């Protein structure tokens, strides 16, 4: 409808990796150990930068993190393989080695009281940038660099063949 009505509105899906947010401190979980985002873990600011960038650029989809790219394309091209891989890898990956507290708060039926900020318990392990997203958001620069290197290599090769 937006395209049909020629509206100047563009929709983008931002596919995010596991983020270091406080939700893992109070989400309802039946896992034996304390929950965590499936690694690699990124800081929330990485998601914020990607979402801001996506809001100002016309892209249908934006992926953040190599693991996100692998998951999305794995689901598109090898869904049966990805389902089996995630059934084993994600089970252990979504929990720490520490046992879950039986008195742990849960936000299943009501919010957990207090201001918990934007960061969770995984600051030491969380990455503050996504090299994959840096490449996505600077693809013209990368393409220009690749073209320049290709041109240089072609020039050197032709020089060698000619003389």
- What is the per-residue pLDDT across 97-137, written as a single tens digit (0 to 9) for each? 999 988 888 999 999 999 989 999 999 999 999 999 999 99
* 3-class DSSP state of 87: helix
Sequence-ordered alpha helix ranges (H) in 97-138: 131-137
Compute the mean pLDDT over every residue in the chain, rounded to the nearest whole number.
92
Confidence tier at 50 by pLDDT (50, 70, 90): very high
What pTM, to 2 d.p., does this model score?
A: 0.83
Tell me the pLDDT tens digit for each residue of 21-40. 999 998 999 899 999 999 99
Q: What percentage of the chain has pLDDT greater than the value 70?
A: 99
Assigned token pair, 97: 């080695």
HSE value, Cβ hemisphere, 13 Å, CA-based, for 57: 16
Q: Is pLDDT larger for residue 46 or for residue 87?
A: 46
Q: How far apart are CA 78 and CA 74, in angstroms?
A: 5
* 3-class DSSP state of 33: strand
Determine phi and psi for 54, rounding to 5 degrees.
-60, -35
Assigned token pair, 15: 């596919």
Tell me the pLDDT tens digit for each residue of 63-74. 999 999 999 999
Over residues 10-21, mean pLDDT: 96
pLDDT confidence of residue 3: 86
Assigned token pair, 76: 């598109």
pLDDT confidence of residue 139: 87
> CA nearest 16: which of 52, 44, 53?
44
Determine phi and psi for 61, rounding to 5 degrees.
-140, 145
108 CB contacts (<8 Å, ≥6 apart)?
A: 28
Confidence tier at 147 by pLDDT (50, 70, 90): very high
Cβ(121)–Cβ(24) below 8 Å: yes
């Amino acid at each position: 409808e937006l395209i049909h009505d020629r509206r100047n509105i563009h929709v983008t899906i931002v596919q995010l990796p596991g983020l270091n947010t406080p939700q893992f401190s109070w989400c309802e979980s039946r896992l034996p150990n304390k929950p965590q985002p499936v690694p690699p873990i990124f800081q929330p600011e990485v998601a914020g930068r990607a979402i801001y960038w996506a809001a100002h650029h016309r892209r249908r989809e934006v992926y953040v993190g190599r693991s996100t790219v692998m998951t999305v394309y794995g689901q598109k091209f090898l869904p049966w393989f990805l389902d089996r891989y995630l059934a084993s890898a994600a089970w252990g990956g979504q929990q720490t080695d520490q046992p879950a507290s039986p008195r742990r708060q849960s936000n299943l039926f009501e919010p957990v009281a207090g201001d918990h900020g934007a960061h969770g318990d995984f600051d030491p392990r969380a990455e503050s940038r996504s090299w994959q997203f840096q490449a996505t958001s600077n693809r013209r620069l990368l393409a220009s660099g690749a073209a320049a290197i290709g041109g240089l290599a072609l020039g050197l090769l032709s020089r060698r063949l000619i003389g």
